[in-house]
Amino acid sequence: MSESQTTFIMVKPDGVKRELVDEIIRRFESIGLTLISRRDITPSLELAETHYGIHKERPFFSEVVDFITSGPVVAMAWMGENAISEARKLIGATNWEEAEPGTIRADFARSIEENVIHGSDGEDTAAFELELWFPDGLES
Protein backbone atom coordinates (compact mmCIF):
# COMPACT_ATOMS: atom_id res chain seq x y z
CA MET A 1 0.00 0.00 0.00
CA SER A 2 1.39 3.38 -0.94
CA GLU A 3 1.09 6.52 1.09
CA SER A 4 2.25 10.09 0.68
CA GLN A 5 5.18 10.82 2.94
CA THR A 6 7.74 13.54 3.48
CA THR A 7 11.36 12.62 4.02
CA PHE A 8 14.57 14.43 4.88
CA ILE A 9 17.51 14.32 2.49
CA MET A 10 20.84 16.06 2.96
CA VAL A 11 23.64 16.46 0.43
CA LYS A 12 26.74 16.34 2.60
CA PRO A 13 29.77 18.67 2.32
CA ASP A 14 31.58 16.34 -0.11
CA GLY A 15 28.59 16.32 -2.47
CA VAL A 16 28.22 20.10 -2.32
CA LYS A 17 31.95 20.64 -2.88
CA ARG A 18 31.89 18.31 -5.89
CA GLU A 19 28.87 20.20 -7.31
CA LEU A 20 26.56 17.17 -7.30
CA VAL A 21 23.48 18.94 -5.91
CA ASP A 22 21.73 19.56 -9.25
CA GLU A 23 22.30 15.95 -10.38
CA ILE A 24 21.01 14.61 -7.07
CA ILE A 25 17.89 16.81 -7.26
CA ARG A 26 17.30 15.61 -10.85
CA ARG A 27 17.48 11.98 -9.68
CA PHE A 28 14.90 12.51 -6.94
CA GLU A 29 12.59 14.28 -9.38
CA SER A 30 13.02 11.43 -11.87
CA ILE A 31 11.51 8.95 -9.38
CA GLY A 32 8.46 11.16 -8.89
CA LEU A 33 9.30 12.93 -5.63
CA THR A 34 8.63 16.65 -5.19
CA LEU A 35 11.05 19.04 -3.50
CA ILE A 36 8.99 21.01 -1.01
CA SER A 37 11.73 22.77 0.97
CA ARG A 38 15.44 23.43 0.66
CA ARG A 39 17.94 25.02 3.00
CA ASP A 40 21.60 25.65 2.16
CA ILE A 41 23.51 25.84 5.44
CA THR A 42 26.81 25.14 7.12
CA PRO A 43 25.60 23.22 10.18
CA SER A 44 26.50 24.45 13.63
CA LEU A 45 28.16 22.09 16.09
CA GLU A 46 24.91 21.95 18.08
CA LEU A 47 22.82 21.07 15.01
CA ALA A 48 25.27 18.34 13.94
CA GLU A 49 25.49 16.83 17.43
CA THR A 50 21.71 16.76 17.71
CA HIS A 51 21.32 15.23 14.24
CA TYR A 52 23.81 12.46 15.01
CA GLY A 53 22.85 12.20 18.70
CA ILE A 54 21.79 8.57 18.32
CA HIS A 55 25.47 7.77 17.67
CA LYS A 56 26.86 9.82 20.57
CA GLU A 57 28.44 6.82 22.32
CA ARG A 58 29.91 5.35 19.13
CA PRO A 59 33.61 5.80 18.35
CA PHE A 60 32.95 7.59 15.05
CA PHE A 61 30.63 10.26 16.52
CA SER A 62 33.18 13.09 16.61
CA GLU A 63 34.35 12.28 13.08
CA VAL A 64 30.86 12.51 11.56
CA VAL A 65 30.15 15.73 13.47
CA ASP A 66 33.45 17.23 12.29
CA PHE A 67 32.73 16.18 8.72
CA ILE A 68 29.16 17.48 8.57
CA THR A 69 30.24 20.86 9.99
CA SER A 70 33.24 21.13 7.62
CA GLY A 71 31.30 22.99 4.93
CA PRO A 72 27.91 23.75 3.48
CA VAL A 73 25.22 21.10 3.12
CA VAL A 74 21.89 21.16 1.29
CA ALA A 75 19.03 20.09 3.54
CA MET A 76 15.86 19.14 1.67
CA ALA A 77 12.34 17.93 2.29
CA TRP A 78 10.93 15.64 -0.40
CA MET A 79 7.32 14.50 -0.68
CA GLY A 80 5.69 11.68 -2.59
CA GLU A 81 4.30 8.18 -2.47
CA ASN A 82 6.45 6.02 -0.18
CA ALA A 83 9.02 8.82 -0.20
CA ILE A 84 11.13 7.32 2.59
CA SER A 85 11.63 3.87 1.06
CA GLU A 86 11.91 5.21 -2.48
CA ALA A 87 14.55 7.72 -1.41
CA ARG A 88 16.50 5.04 0.45
CA LYS A 89 16.53 2.83 -2.66
CA LEU A 90 17.82 5.72 -4.77
CA ILE A 91 20.49 6.66 -2.21
CA GLY A 92 21.95 3.15 -1.86
CA ALA A 93 23.72 1.37 0.98
CA THR A 94 25.68 3.42 3.53
CA ASN A 95 28.82 1.56 2.52
CA TRP A 96 29.32 2.76 -1.03
CA GLU A 97 31.07 -0.49 -1.98
CA GLU A 98 27.84 -2.38 -1.21
CA ALA A 99 25.52 0.09 -2.95
CA GLU A 100 23.59 -1.15 -5.97
CA PRO A 101 24.77 0.17 -9.36
CA GLY A 102 22.89 3.30 -10.39
CA THR A 103 22.34 4.51 -6.83
CA ILE A 104 23.70 7.88 -5.74
CA ARG A 105 26.30 6.34 -3.43
CA ALA A 106 27.44 3.74 -5.97
CA ASP A 107 27.90 6.48 -8.55
CA PHE A 108 29.40 9.25 -6.43
CA ALA A 109 30.65 8.15 -2.98
CA ARG A 110 34.38 7.82 -2.45
CA SER A 111 34.42 6.27 1.01
CA ILE A 112 32.07 5.25 3.81
CA GLU A 113 32.78 8.62 5.47
CA GLU A 114 32.36 10.70 2.31
CA ASN A 115 29.24 9.07 0.95
CA VAL A 116 27.66 12.24 -0.48
CA ILE A 117 24.15 12.00 0.97
CA HIS A 118 21.99 11.28 4.01
CA GLY A 119 18.37 10.18 3.99
CA SER A 120 15.91 9.44 6.77
CA ASP A 121 15.51 5.72 7.44
CA GLY A 122 11.95 5.74 8.79
CA GLU A 123 8.91 7.86 9.60
CA ASP A 124 10.02 8.76 13.13
CA THR A 125 13.51 9.69 11.95
CA ALA A 126 12.09 11.76 9.10
CA ALA A 127 9.80 13.68 11.47
CA PHE A 128 12.70 14.34 13.87
CA GLU A 129 15.12 15.41 11.14
CA LEU A 130 12.62 17.60 9.30
CA GLU A 131 11.76 19.44 12.51
CA LEU A 132 15.44 19.79 13.40
CA TRP A 133 16.61 21.13 10.03
CA PHE A 134 13.46 23.17 9.24
CA PRO A 135 12.54 24.66 12.63
CA ASP A 136 10.36 27.33 11.00
CA GLY A 137 8.37 24.72 9.08
CA LEU A 138 8.40 23.49 5.52
CA GLU A 139 7.79 25.88 2.66
CA SER A 140 5.00 24.97 0.31
Catalytic (active-site) positions: 118
- Helices and strands (DSSP H and E) totals, the chain: 7, 4
As a whole number of angstroms, the distance between CA 71 and CA 44 comes to 10
Query: Do 64 and 114 contact (CB within 8 A), yes or no?
Result: no
Distance CA 79, CA 129 (A): 14
Rounded to whole angstroms, how far apart are CA atoms 124 and 7?
10
